[in-house]
Amino acid sequence: MPSGRKTILVVDDDLGMADTLTDILQANQYEVAIAHSGETAVSMARRRAYDLVLMDIQMPGLNGVQALTAMKAEGLAKRVIMMTAHTRDELVKEAEKQSGFPVLAKPLDLERVLSLASSATSP
């Protein structure tokens, strides 16, 4: 990380969501990488340690909770914040338990995302 910036991995199968989140985070001085599936997210996390993973829950293939479980099993993810459009899904409780953060509801409250990102990436 030559820039010294904090790194965030954004994981969402919705391209527009990943794209716009990336622009916002970059404009707030984060270095951002994108994965469009849980599988890609896990393999990217193996190659590089991110300060924060911001991950959607409902994705085809490996869903967010499964990806989170896989990352934790390999000791890859320090801090993961999950987000969802399905706030009442059973997976939400599981996601909160595993990540230790409240799950963020879409449409996202971006002030809250940035403040959580800031505190999650602080040492």
Partner 1 sequence: MQASLALTTEASLERVLQKITEVARDTLRARYVALGVIDESGTGLGQFLTAGTAEATEIGPAPTGKDVLDLLITERRPLRLRTRAPHLGSFLGVPIMVRDRAYGSLYATEKQEAEEFSETDELLAVVLASQAAIAIENARAAQALREAQEELVRKEKLAMLGQLAGGVGHELRNPLGVIRNSVYYLNMILPPDEKIRKHLGILDREVANSDRIVTELLDFARVKAPVREAASLVSIVRAALERLSVPESVTVQLELDESIPAVLVDAQQVGQIALNFLQNAVQAMPDGGRVTVSTGADRESVFAAVADTGVGIPPGNLAKIFQPLFTTKAKGIGLGLALARELAEANGGRITVESTVGRGSRFAVHFEKAAHA
Residue ranges in contact with partner 1 by CB under 8 A: 14, 16-17, 20-21, 23-24, 27, 85-86, 88, 106-108, 110
Q: Which is nearer to partner 1, 21 or 116 (CB)?
A: 21
Q: How far is the CB of 114 from partner 1 (least distance, A)?
A: 9
Q: Which is nearer to partner 1, 26 or 43 (CB)?
A: 26
Q: How far apart are CA 73 and CA 105, in angstroms?
A: 26
What are the residues whose beta carbons fall under 8 Å from the beta carbon of 14, sequence distance 6 or more? 56
Q: How far is the CB of 75 from partner 1 (least distance, A)?
A: 31
Q: Which is nearer to partner 1, 13 or 76 (CB)?
A: 13
CB 54 within 8 Å of CB 21: yes
Task: Give the pair of three-digit tokens for residue 14.
Answer: 């919705």
Residues forming a β-bridge with 80: 53
Q: Which is nearer to partner 1, 54 or 70 (CB)?
A: 54
Q: How far is the CB of 76 from partner 1 (least distance, A)?
A: 26
Q: How far apart are CA 56 and CA 59, in angstroms?
A: 7
